[in-house]
Structure 1
Amino acid sequence: MIHYRDARTIDGPALAAMARQSFTETFGMLYPESDLSAFLDEAFGPNGLPAQLSDPDFAIRLALDEGQIIGFVKMGPVTFPGEWRPDAIELYQFYVLSDWHGQGVAQELMAWSLDHARSHGAREVILSVYVDNHRAHRFYEKYGFHDIGRIAFRVGATVDDDNLMRLVL
């Protein structure tokens, strides 16, 4: 049975391991091993995602099955370059392990994300998504997100294009 709860600092190692697994299963084939490893260490190492669990600027919601993290979403202040409304919030990471795709986990996490944004006074949600991640694009578009531009996303020495997307609440 899948249940959901807010992340706690003690979840750091398990959350980092799940994020590494999810990113690798989705995008690992796109990058040389050295680039992938550098990205995973920076994003999900001790100074990355686990450190943000104790940062009050971030909110992280977990999906768990039999105590194992199978998905999560992270929300916080907008950090993309440019001018952003003061009442905008960023959806940073939205990961669900592939074995749980199509089981409602993403929809539950998105519902929490939008409720979180509204309850914190946000009037828009901003995110970035890899240009060739068509599954994610379709998912976000179902909720009303639309493309507003492009941004570079670095994985080690590799630089990819991401689409910036916005949802006005």
Structure 2
Amino acid sequence: MISERVTGGRVIRTALPAEAEIIADLHFRARSTYYPDGVPQDDFDWAEAWRGSIERPDGHVLCVVEQGRIVGIASFRTPEDASTETVKLFQFHVDPDRWRSGLGTALHTACVEEWRADGKRTAVLDVHVDNTRAQAFYARQGWVPDPENPPVEGDHHLDLRFSVPGE
């Protein structure tokens, strides 16, 4: 697990439970950009959900810190219904004020390095169909539509797959 990685003046490190509220706020602001009718579950306790993700013994939450402020987050773990060589990226958000600054690419690189170190060969995620910006980002990083989970009529998410490069 990454304890701390410095890249381009940014620190990428494991998130702390005490940061759950800050992470939940960033998560909400990022998600608000691609839900045209407002974020679903806007009354949900996201801070508590993030605290749970951070404290999960089988999960990882990385954060990007610039000038003492969390500006990017990624949450992943091996899903219960997958092989041990697969990791699922559950959440990946960059502060909307920092889009197109290289933060997402740096965070994605840190995730891939950790997945490789953990022996993962494949990563999967689902992305909201209206989030074309994120879809383009993932495509640039090498994610492709998951052939094992093609789009289903009426579903609001697309399943993507990433082959974790070997050493």
**Bin of the TM-score, shorter chain as denominator length:** 0.7 to 0.9
1:73 equivalent in alignment to 2:81 = no
For residues 108-128 of structure 1, the C-alpha deviation after alignment (integer angstroms, 9 at most, x for no partner) is 000011111111111100001
Shift in Å at residue 137 of structure 1? 1.3
1:96 equivalent in alignment to 2:94 = yes
Change (3 A) 1:151 1:100: farther
In the alignment, the residues of structure 2 paired with residue 146 and residue 78 of structure 1 have an alpha-carbon distance, to the nearest angstrom, of 19
- Aligned runs of 1:1-169 on 2, under 5 Å? 2-24=10-32, 26-31=33-38, 35-38=40-43, 41-42=44-45, 44-46=46-48, 48-78=49-79, 84-148=82-146, 149-150=150-151, 161-169=156-164
Q: Which runs of no fewer than 5 residues in structure 1 stay unpaired?
A: 153-158
In the alignment, the residues of structure 2 paired with residue 144 and residue 99 of structure 1 have an alpha-carbon distance, to the nearest angstrom, of 24
Change (3 A) 1:51 1:85: closer
Three-state SS of the structure 2 residue aligned to 1:30 is coil
Percent of paired sites with the same residue: 20
For residues 134-169 of structure 1, the C-alpha deviation after alignment (integer angstroms, 9 at most, x for no partner) is 2211111122211122369xxxxxx85110000122
In the alignment, the residues of structure 2 paired with residue 161 and residue 113 of structure 1 have an alpha-carbon distance, to the nearest angstrom, of 25
Higher helix share: 1
With structure 1 as the length reference, what TM-score do the two structures score?
0.80
In the alignment, the residues of structure 2 paired with residue 13 and residue 45 of structure 1 have an alpha-carbon distance, to the nearest angstrom, of 5
Task: Quote the residue 2:6 is aligned against.
Answer: none
Letter paired with 1:102: R
Q: Which runs of no fewer than 5 residues in structure 2 stay unpaired?
A: 1-8
In the alignment, the residues of structure 1 paired with residue 11 and residue 83 of structure 2 have an alpha-carbon distance, to the nearest angstrom, of 33
With structure 2 as the length reference, what TM-score do the two structures score?
0.81
In the alignment, the residues of structure 1 paired with residue 95 and residue 137 of structure 2 have an alpha-carbon distance, to the nearest angstrom, of 15
Change (3 A) 1:146 1:28: closer
CA RMSD in angstroms, aligned pairs only:
2.2
Change (3 A) 1:76 1:151: farther
